[in-house]
Amino acid sequence: DIGERPSGAEGLASVAGFRLLLAKARGEITPEQAAEAAEGAKLKEKQKEEFERRADESKKRKRDEEDDHLTKIMAAAEKSREEAERKRKEAAEAASQQPAAKQAKLDDSTGVQVDENGQRVITLKAVQKEIWLR
């Protein structure tokens, strides 16, 4: 050891390790590094595909839930429309069956509408007339 010529590789594990160190310093890529890079790229691609698959499943599940929610909303709207239509028909039938005396009538002496109890009916026209007369 003492009489040998120094190679500059003292402290390194091997001459091959020294060559790898020099190749790395020069920016060269070794076959091992190329294999690692290819393996890393494959792993990243596999992870990306898995992520996209999960995202697609999540979107599909969310779309199905939205469709279900939208269907419920549409059914509720249809039900309320039918209920309103039924109530409107019942109110029209009830109004047609009421005697004419119970409906609001115009008092001829004052020109004011009064209901079946003799109370004044406040309408926009009546308010406008009152304002005009005052």
pLDDT value at residue 82? 94
Q: Which two structure tokens, joined as six digits, stand for 22? A: 């020099």
Give 80-112 pLDDT, tens digit per residue. Answer: 999 999 999 998 888 777 655 455 566 555 667
CA atoms within 13 Å, Cβ hemisphere of 114 = 11
CA 85/CA 89 separation, integer angstroms: 6
pLDDT value at residue 111? 65
Instruction: Name residues whose C-beta falls within 8 Å of residue 113's C-beta, 6 or more positions apart in sequence.
Output: 104, 105, 106, 107, 120, 121, 123, 126
| Total length of the chain | 134
